[in-house]
Amino acid sequence: MNDNDQTLTQRIKELEGRALKARLEAMKIAATLLAKESSLLAEPRSNTIHKGDLAVLRAQYDRLAKTADEAQALIDKLQAEEHDRKYHR
């Protein structure tokens, strides 16, 4: 394995770690979001503070999901490149 292959492999591992971190954080936010939405449904009078909190949580979730998706797309591209280097020289 040459330096380019090691660098590529290392980059893939770093991206996998970043994607995993984003996914885990997104799952935590999704759980909080579901709990808050559930409590709002249980309250006949929802207040606007909770609705603002929900909007913030949704935005955070969307950002994290996008980060994870972009990282996964790059991981897939790098893995394909790595495969080409190893087997199609």
pTM of the predicted protein model:
0.78
C-alpha angle 72-77-82 in degrees, rounded to nearest 5: 120
Mean pLDDT, consecutive 10-residue segments, the chain of 89 residues?
Answer: 78 95 97 89 66 90 96 95 85
State pLDDT tens for residues 15-29: 999 999 999 999 999
Dihedral over Cα of 21, 27, 33, 36: its sign:
negative
Q: Which residue has the tokens 């380019």?
A: 4
Question: How far is the C-alpha of 52 from the C-alpha of 29, rounded, in Å?
Answer: 15
Measured between alpha carbons, how far is 16 from 26 in angstroms, rounded to an integer? 15
Which structure tokens are listed for 61?
A: 């979730």
